[in-house]
Structure 1
Amino acid sequence: MSPAAAEPTRVSAMAEQTYSWAYSLVDSSQVSTFLISILLIVYGSFRSLNMDFENQDKEKDNSSSSGSFNGNSTNNSIQTIDSTQALFLPIGASVSLLVMFFFFDSVQVVFTICTAVLATIAFAFLLLPMCQYLTRPCSPQNKISFGCCGRFTAAELLSFSLSVMLVLIWVLTGHWLLMDALAMGLCVAMIAFVRLPSLKVSCLLLSGLLIYDVFWVFFSAYIFNSNVMVKVATQPADNPLDVLSRKLHLGPNVGRDVPRLSLPGKLVFPSSTGSHFSMLGIGDIVMPGLLLCFVLRYDNYKKQANGDSCGASGPANISGRMQKVSYFHCTLIGYFVGLLTATVASRIHRAAQPALLYLVPFTLLPLLTMAYLKGDLRRMWSEPFHSKSSSSRFLEV
């Protein structure tokens, strides 16, 4: 074959390879990962904001004095991360990762049971609004007493019962879809109940977790002769029913046919051909989700403080269109671009990628830039939810 005749063949082959590579980025598993992760962040952020509104209404009912909206809720069930916790959280996560890497066989049953309990509570929280909608027409919202266990509404009992049923079916079948449902509940619950109080804490936390993610994905193999992050994330655990059957000597046909369990610390979606799964850790959803929850609360606070004229106090050289762009939408777009970049990088390198390496810069940098341009950076950095009148009483250092 002459060189002139071979050239179109090579061009055609390159075009086919490019098409196949581009098509692999938009297969069903990747699209599902993108959509579900963004929906979980949006839903968890608005659940968090709704909890603030509910707590604000309760405070107004319990006290005759009315105050301005405070972004830091006084609800005891909500955990606010401070600077010290943000600095030490990556260290604690690293210790937990090493424990799971070296002693997984010893602690897998305990870890599976604890994860199942947390997933049950989290999924019940995820189902609660739907159950409240279903039970509202047929039953009053009175709480039923269960002695020392507490008082619960019919909607709470229904959501918890459905969650327990789903966990039991997951233990019996080990199906990936049920594992994803439990992981979704964990994502929404953590985004709703954990708060970042300021942009400074957000930067400390996300920067530390970026270093944590990069080290354990890229450099752990040089020290431990194995990719610690990938091995822990993909290693299945023994089914508690199988372990219980062997401990009690119940016989070979009792509890021995249950599958090993892939723990709900990640979202997995199969491709349309079933040839592979796309995987995204819940930390890659929750940690950027906490930042998006923070900026959503700040957008709402600023909207209330400015009387629905968000950005009216910004610099004069910033256009009105820029002032109308919310921090939440800007950061959410950055999350989408970062997730897309991480997907492209994993396809190019054909290896697992630390998603936070791409998600953190694409969410934090646009947010910091927009806050600087709007003149909100100083307030968002330290005390974003304190009014100017109260903060002016103190000497700024």
Structure 2
Amino acid sequence: MKNTERIANLALAGLSLAPLVVKVDPNLNVVLTACITVFVGCYRSVKPTPPTETMSNEHAMRFPFVGSAMLLSLFLLFKFLSKDLVNTVLTGYFFVLGIVALSATLLPSIKRFLPKHWNDDLIVWRFPYFRSFEVEFTRSQIVAAVPGTFFCAWYALQKHWLANNILGLAFCIQGIEMLSLGSFKTGAILLAGLFVYDIFWVFFTPVMVSVAKSFDAPIKLLFPTADSARPFSMLGLGDIVIPGIFVALALRFDVSRGKQPQYFKSAFLGYTFGLVLTIVVMNWFQAAQPALLYIVPSVIGFLAAHCIWNGDVKQLLEFDESKTADSSQEESDAKSSKKVE
């Protein structure tokens, strides 16, 4: 397995559970940006070869606890250490992660203009003194990393809201594209756990809101406002990535059945409805809201209602991307054997 892909997967998994808070005005830009990002990430997740690594039910159950530990650790760091020191370290972390995310986002557009062997030939680099740890990459990935490096340097130096948003969108697209739930059962377990996670840390403790305000990193999208007291509206990246990987699974389910996307449309509509409902409730009560409280029931509810209406509940619950990957590999091996004969 490519270690670079594993590193990105782990980093994006951690990013998706970073402290989240929704504090947005009834601004169409917020809804459009989030929905377009989910749409793009979903279609980029559809690939000729199904994902070979998917999340298990056990991992889905542990995810909220890992996120809680991460969130509480950040809260304690900000409480007992200098805020500037913590944010300096985080800036370095997101500088590296940003280069990985931006280069991966740009790569499909760049590699078509490069020699084919630049895209195919792997370069293996082993860490000094840690020879067992290696990273695989191509020349095309190096080329894509050049503009990403300059852009991340601009972000690190200026912390401009536009640079923050572009990095955030790259993180979201890569998260939705690369993270695979494997099955709708696993997806339901993950969303249910994070549904409780979001409610607990927003409504019952000051931890999430406190960390979100202190955390100076691209874990949220910023939208300028005319209010000098509150210059930016914010939307947490987890409110895009977490439901986005579930919506992407619905799209790949449609593709695996060889039909036009239909359940993807209902899941995507559920996400849009949940996001709008979050904004309406937040502005009604003038208080931070756990977005997954509204988005999770909407996404699952819209998809479930559509499946029940069409009588496809059994097929949806039996869908397993790991089995799809195995069958695709068997078909590929069979074709190769025929060519040899």
- TM-score, normalised relative to structure 1: 0.67
1:171 aligns with 2:156: yes
Residue 374 (structure 1) shift = 1.9
> 312, 317, 323: which one pairs with 1:376?
312
Counterparts of 1:350 and 1:163, CA distance in 2: 38
1:355 maps to amino acid: A
> What's the offset of the Cα at 1:276?
3.1
Could you say what the CA RMSD is over the residues aligned between the two structures, in angstroms?
2.3
CA distance in 1: counterparts of 2:123 and 2:180, whole angstroms? 31
Q: Report the equivalent of 1:35.
A: 32
2:74 corresponds, among 91, 100, 125, to 100
What are the within-5 Å matches in structure 2 for residues 147-158 of structure 1? 148=125, 150-154=136-140, 156-158=141-143
Tell me, in whole angstroms, the C-alpha distance in 2 between the residues paired with 1:368 and 1:384. 17
Larger radius of gyration: 1
Q: Distance in 2 between matches of 1:330 and 1:37?
A: 16
Name the SS of the counterpart of 1:195 in structure 2.
coil
Question: Which residue of structure 2 aligns with residue 335 of structure 1?
Answer: 271
Name the CA distance, whole Å, in 1 between partners of 2:289 and 2:35. 19
**Aligned residue in 1 for 2:11:** none
CA contact (8 A) 2:195 2:292 kept: yes
- Provide the C-alpha distance between the structure 1 equivalents of 2:189 and 2:278, rounded to a whole number of angstroms: 22
1:205 corresponds to 2:190: yes
1:298-377 alignment runs, 5 A limit:
298-303=253-258, 308=259, 326-377=262-313
**Are the counterparts in 1 of residues 38 and 173 from structure 2 also a CA contact under 8 Å?**
yes
For residues 63 and 217 of structure 2, the distance between their equivalents in structure 1, rounded to whole angstroms, comes to 21
Q: CA deviation at 1:142?
A: 2.2
**1:83 maps to which residue?**
57
How far 1:115 sits from its partner (Å)? 2.4
- 1:291 pairs, out of 224, 242, 246, with 246
CA distance in structure 1 between the partners assigned to 2:166 and 2:243 by the alignment: 20
Q: Kindly provide the CA deviation profile for residues 87-132 of structure 1, in whole angstroms up to 9, marking residues without a partner as x.
A: 1100110011100001133754443322221122011111222323
Contact 2:307 2:313 in 1 (8 A): yes
Q: Could you tell me which amino acid in structure 2 is paired with residue 140 of structure 1? A: P
Whether the 8 Å contact between 1:45 and 1:296 is mirrored in structure 2 is yes
Structure-2 change in CA distance of 1:370 and 1:191 (3 Å): same
Equivalent pairs counted in the alignment come to: 284
The alignment-based identity, stated in percent, is 32
Q: Is the 8 A contact 1:145 1:151 kept in 2?
A: yes
Mapped to 2, the partners of 1:101 and 1:147 lie a distance apart of 38
Partner of 1:127: 106
Structure 1 alignment gaps of length 5 or more: 1-23, 56-70, 221-226, 237-261, 311-324, 391-397
After superposition, the Cα gap between the structure-2 partners of 1:142 and 1:99, relative to the gap in structure 1 and judged at 3 Å, is: same
Specify whether residues 167 and 218 from structure 1 end up closer, same or farther in structure 2 by C-alpha distance, changes over 3 A only. Answer: same
Asked if 2 retains the 8 angstrom alpha-carbon contact of 1:123 and 1:184, the reply is: no
Q: Does 1:278 align with 2:257?
A: no
Structure 1 residue 48: Cα displacement: 0.9
1:141 matched to 2:116: yes
Please report the TM-score for the alignment, with normalisation by the length of structure 2.
0.77
